[in-house]
Amino acid sequence: MKFKYSFIKTIIIGCGLFLVSCNKTDFLEIRPGGTTVLTVDAIKTSDDLKKLMISAYAQINSAGFMNGNPLVSADVMADDAVTTSSIFDWSQIVGHSMDLFNPRGRDTWNNTYLAINRANVASSSTIADPILATADPAVVSQLKADAAYIRGLGFFHLVRFFGLPYSDATKNIAGRGIVIRLRGTTTITESFDKLQRSTVEEVYTQIITDLKFASANLPATRTTWNNGFATRDAAKALLAKVYFFKGDMPNAVTEAKPVMQSGTYDLDADVITKYSRATTTGGTTKEVIFAIPSVSATNNLWGGLTGAYRTNNTNGAIPQFSPSASLLAAYTPAKDLRYNKFFVTKNGVVYTKKFDYAAMDAIVTGFDELLLIYAEALASSGAPADLAEAVLWLNKIEKRAYGAPVTTVAAGQAGIIDAVRKERRLELSFRGERLHELKRLKLDVRGDAWDSRKVMFQIPDDEQSGNPGIILN
C-alpha cells in the first residue's frame, strides 16, 4: 500500500490554552482554512470537535514539536551535529548550559503541551463532555483515540527532553518526569490548576496506556477527516519505540511485529526517497509509517530542519549547522552508498543534504527506524531464532547501504546488537535521535553523564511563573 499524503489545513488556537499568562476568558479560536472563527461558545457539535482535533494534529508541526527545532537541538546537544551560530539559544545548547529562558526549551515545552491540550479539549473537557455524551459512539471513540495518540507522542517527546532517562535507578525519583495533563483547559480558572511533575515510571505508564488505547481504536487507514491523521500502525510503531526506550524488549517486539510483517511498509530502493518525495505532485514512499504532509514551500512542515541544514538555498546562504567530525568518522565513504546521498562538501566543509528541499513532510515514524528497533529488540533475547530474524532485517538496511549484507548470525548476540546500533546512528542521522540514544545506552554526552541535568532542557520560565511549586531539574 502506498503512503497517502494530504493537506492538513492550518487551524490556530490562540493564547496557548494551558498557559496561565493568557488573560482572556474566551480565547479558544479556530480558523479552518483562514476563513471562519470558532470560539468556545461556538463549539456545539461533534463536527466542531473534529475541526479542533485537526488543529491538534497541525500543532504537532509547531517549532517545538516535530517541526525540527528540538530535533536539531538534540543532535547538537549530543555528538552528531555542530553549529557556527553564537546566539543565546545555541551557545547554551552547545555548552550544555540551558536555563529556564532558553527559547528552544521553552518552545518544546509550550508547543508540545499546546498540541496535547487541543487534543484534550476535543476529547475530554468542559466543552467536549456534553457534546460527546450524545454523539455517535464511533465519533467519540475516534476523537478519544486521536487524543490518546497525540498525548502519547507529546508526553514521550517531552519526557525525553525534560525528564530523566528511564532506568531502574531513575524511574521512581519524585518529580523527575513531566506534568501529566489529561483534561483540556479552556478557561483561566482551569489553567490555574497546578500539577506537579510525575515520576518517569508514571509518565511511561501513561504513555503506554494512551498508545494501547490508540492502537486498539484508531482506524487501520484514514479515508475520512484527513489523510494526515495517525493510524493503528502509527500508534503501534510508536508504542514499540516507547517500550524500546524503556528497555522492555519483549513488548517492543510484540508491538512492532504486526507492523513489520504487514507487508504495508518497506525500505525504498533509494535511501533519499522519503526525504525527496515531491510534495506538490503526490509522490509516494513505502518507508513512511506516519508523517504530517507539506503541500508547498510555504507549508514546509520540517522547516526547522531545512532552516538549519539546507545547503542549496536560493540566496546562496551557507547553513550554520553541519555534521560533527565524530559522525562523519562513523561512515565509511568508500563503502557506504549513503555517504554521497547524505553529504556534500562546500568550501572545504562537509554538510548534510538530506534536507535540500523547499518543502518536506514531517516524518513522525519511519519504517527504517522501526526495523532497527525490531532487530535490536529481537537480538536482545539471545534466542537462536530471534538472532536469525534480527540479522535478516538488519541485512535489508545493510544491503541498501553497502550493496550487500554485512552481518551474519556468526557475529553472535553482542556483534549483532553492535551492528544494529551502528546502523541506528548512520541511518537516522539528523533526525534528533542521537541524544536519546546515548542516554538509553547510558553513555556520556560529550563529557557529561547520561543522566546529568546539563543534558536536559530546563523547565521554562512560563511554566515556573504559573506553577511556582514545580520541581526543577
All three cell numbers of 246, joined, read 524503556
Please indicate, yes or no, whether residues 146 and 68 belong to a single structural domain of this protein: yes
Cβ neighbours around 384 below 10 Å, total: 10
Q: Please state, in angstroms and rounded to a whole number, the distance separating the CA atoms of residues 155 and 165.
A: 13
* Vertex 196: Cα angle to 192 and 199 (nearest 5): 155
Q: Using the predicted structure, report yes or no on whether residue 5 has a pLDDT greater than 90.
A: no
Instruction: For residue 217, tell me if it sits in a domain.
Output: yes
Instruction: For residue 244, tell me if it sits in a domain.
Output: no
Please indicate, yes or no, whether residues 61 and 118 belong to a single structural domain of this protein: yes
Instruction: For residue 54, tell me if it sits in a domain.
Output: yes
The fraction of the chain above a pLDDT of 70, given in percent, is 88
pLDDT of residue 359: 85
The answer to which of 58-67, 128-137, 211-220, 338-347 has the lowest mean pLDDT is 58-67
Dihedral angle over CA of 409, 415, 417, 420, nearest 10:
-80
Q: Please state, in angstroms and rounded to a whole number, the distance separating the CA atoms of residues 261 and 255.
A: 11
| Section 36-47 average pLDDT | 71
Domain at 151, CATH number: 1.25.40.390
Domain at 390, CATH number: 1.25.40
pLDDT of residue 24: 33
Please indicate, yes or no, whether residues 225 and 336 belong to a single structural domain of this protein: no
Q: Using the predicted structure, report yes or no on whether residue 213 has a pLDDT greater than 60.
A: yes
Q: Using the predicted structure, report yes or no on whether residue 473 has a pLDDT greater than 90.
A: yes
pLDDT of residue 283: 57
The model's confidence at residue 363, banded by pLDDT at 50, 70 and 90, is: very high
The answer to whether 331 and 426 are in contact (CB under 8 A) is: yes
| Section 428-443 average pLDDT | 98
The model's pLDDT over 111-129, given as tens digits with 9 standing for 90+, comes to: 999 999 999 999 999 999 9
The fraction of the chain above a pLDDT of 90, given in percent, is 78
Higher-confidence residue of 384 and 24: namely 384
pLDDT of residue 19: 33
| Section 183-203 average pLDDT | 86
Q: Which residue has the cell 543534558?
A: 455
Please indicate, yes or no, whether residues 415 and 279 belong to a single structural domain of this protein: yes
Q: Please state, in angstroms and rounded to a whole number, the distance separating the CA atoms of residues 431 and 469.
A: 34
Q: Using the predicted structure, report yes or no on whether residue 443 has a pLDDT greater than 50.
A: yes
- The domain in which residue 391 lies consists of 251-289+318-362+364-430
Please indicate, yes or no, whether residues 338 and 397 belong to a single structural domain of this protein: yes
Please indicate, yes or no, whether residues 261 and 204 belong to a single structural domain of this protein: no
The answer to whether 11 and 60 are in contact (CB under 8 A) is: no
pLDDT of residue 286: 92
pLDDT of residue 42: 74
Q: Using the predicted structure, report yes or no on whether residue 345 has a pLDDT greater than 70.
A: yes
The answer to whether 416 and 379 are in contact (CB under 8 A) is: yes
Please indicate, yes or no, whether residues 224 and 329 belong to a single structural domain of this protein: no
- Structural domains in the chain (count): 2
Please indicate, yes or no, whether residues 202 and 283 belong to a single structural domain of this protein: no
Please indicate, yes or no, whether residues 203 and 158 belong to a single structural domain of this protein: yes
Instruction: For residue 51, tell me if it sits in a domain.
Output: yes
Please indicate, yes or no, whether residues 156 and 122 belong to a single structural domain of this protein: yes
Q: Which of 19-33, 113-127, 183-197 has the highest mean pLDDT?
A: 113-127
Instruction: For residue 184, tell me if it sits in a domain.
Output: yes
Q: Using the predicted structure, report yes or no on whether residue 176 has a pLDDT greater than 50.
A: yes
Question: How does the average pLDDT of the chain come out, rounded?
Answer: 89
The answer to which of 37-46, 116-125, 183-192, 325-334 has the lowest mean pLDDT is 37-46
Higher-confidence residue of 51 and 388: namely 388
Instruction: For residue 399, tell me if it sits in a domain.
Output: yes
Q: Please state, in angstroms and rounded to a whole number, the distance separating the CA atoms of residues 142 and 331.
A: 44
| Section 4-24 average pLDDT | 32
| Section 434-448 average pLDDT | 98
Q: Using the predicted structure, report yes or no on whether residue 84 has a pLDDT greater than 70.
A: yes
Please indicate, yes or no, whether residues 42 and 104 belong to a single structural domain of this protein: yes
Q: Please state, in angstroms and rounded to a whole number, the distance separating the CA atoms of residues 75 and 430.
A: 7
Instruction: For residue 337, tell me if it sits in a domain.
Output: yes
Instruction: For residue 31, tell me if it sits in a domain.
Output: yes
The model's pLDDT over 218-277, given as tens digits with 9 standing for 90+, comes to: 999 875 434 578 999 999 999 999 999 999 999 999 999 999 999 999 999 999 999 986
Please indicate, yes or no, whether residues 180 and 82 belong to a single structural domain of this protein: yes
